[in-house]
Amino acid sequence: MSKSKGRQVTQNENIIDINKKKCIGCTGCAIGCTDITGISVLKVTDDGKRTVVPKKGTFNNTGCIYCGQCTLICPTTAINVRNDVNKVKEALNSGKYLVAISAPALKATLGEEFGLPIGTDVEGKVQASARKLGFQKVFDTDFGADMTVLEESNELIKRLSTKENLPMFTSCCSAWVRWVELFKPEIINNLSTSKSPQQMMGASIKTYFAEEFKILPQNIFLLSIKPCTAKKYEAEREEMGRDNYKDIDAVLTVREYSELLKEKGIDITAIASEQSDSFMGTYTGGAAIFGASGGVMEATLRAIAYYLKDDISKINDIRFNSIYGTEGAKESSISIGGKIIKVAVISTTNEVERFLKDDKWKEYDFVEVMACPGGCINGGGTPRILKKSEITERKCIRCGTCVENCPVGAIEFNARGYAETSKEKCVGCTLCSKICRTKAINIINYDKSTGESLKESYIKLRANVLKNIDKKSIKKVSVENSELKIMYEKYMGEPDGEKAQSLLHTKYTDRSKDLIVQMRKKKR
């Protein structure tokens, strides 16, 4: 009892929190963090109860990139992202001009929080629901994705002509950018200086939109609804704003936004879809696919083909090959405008480490990186997937490891002496599948709306939503976005030009020394 009285029950931090009361010590989050990020932020501790904590005392000190994958893996919601719903509720009553933007991935994920099958397209539901909350303008971040493509494609064309800082790595994934700053600062100059779609939207709304509608930027409350937990960190970076205001005032994940809607009695299945407001409301097919791994690459190559007057349709037929020594990386070479461009698409920072292990990475021209497996549609703030373990009896050697280590007692020996899972007790922590030496245990994903096991990957089902939106789009190249053209003509000037550089581009910081200093302080 003496230990439990002195135990810190909740570890509250800036982005990720741990509630030790809820933690069952399954270590699924710690194992997943190591597998996905390659950082291994968490460790097991026992101060009267087996739980997990950051290795260096805090998530920040340990080098967490805030991808939030641990919050998806945790079966009891003991580890979760900071909840900003109250901040948004306060803004709803603040008298400020309310603007909401939502990421492409919302179209493919929000429905799951309201009982719809995985892979349901809910395009237009954010617009309708946000207006019911009281937001005066609602835009898709897809408009910002088209903006990012314009800036990034022009930036890449310039780098290809000068052969400087190649390959150029994408920079729209904020968790990946933080990983570079912390663990690989020597490639900072290889990152595209183009801001993410979220931050381009924020900068444009607080300047271009504010000036056109004659609203002081300080009087605008801009909410960004995202599948990503690291976007909270990105929005708070000191360079993401000007004149003593932030471009993005609050970020809600898909889970948080659905929580807010349910609290306000708004069911997206009971309201009709609505379009984004005009002015910054249009987007192309190239913007929609930003939410899935490979989408940023494809959208940017389409724009480059457009600028170099080449056949855009061949971009849709790129043949990728797996990169030797990796599991989540693929490569291709494509001829555009008489230039051979060698590209790579990488999912998870653990795979990036493998990709960068020798100098072969320097042979590429353009590399897309997403920190989350499958991209934003599987971001740390997306709906959690129902999981259960399943044991193949013929592979079981009856060692009892899974039986002894299951934190909820869901695995027992059956009448034949082999391990068997009780589906009713299983919480889907995935620990058993990680420790089974004969790989007799598989994790089965289920659709919560039907209770049936998934025949296809949930990531693929979500990605198909965005791909279908792209297929149906009349305009597939970001350069063809009509409202974006007007913005550049009236306000931004040339892509990658002086004003665009000021508002839509950024710089990065070598943060590796911060880790070293923090580690030394800890040792003292």
- Active-site residue numbers? 152, 155, 172, 192, 231, 234, 239, 376
Distance from C-alpha of 143 to C-alpha of 232, rounded to nearest angstrom = 20
| The residue type at 363 | E
Tokens of 179: 């990983």
Helix, strand or coil for residue 99? strand
Give the span between the Cα atoms of 116 and 129, in whole angstroms: 16
Sheet holding 137-140, edge to edge: 137-140, 97-102, 220-226, 250-253
By the 8 A CB rule, do 145 and 283 touch?
yes
Task: Output the DSSP codes for 327-380.
Answer: SSEEEEEEEETTEEEEEEEEESHHHHHHHTSSGGGGG-SEEEEESSTTSGGG-T
CB 34 within 8 A of CB 21: no
CA distance linking residue 485 with residue 373, whole number of Å = 33
Kindly calculate the radius of gyration of the chain based on its CA atoms and give it in whole angstroms. 23
CB atoms within 10 A of CB 72: 24
Diameter over CA atoms, the chain:
76
Say if residues 103 and 228 touch (Cβ distance below 8 Å). Answer: yes
Amino acid symbol at 354: R
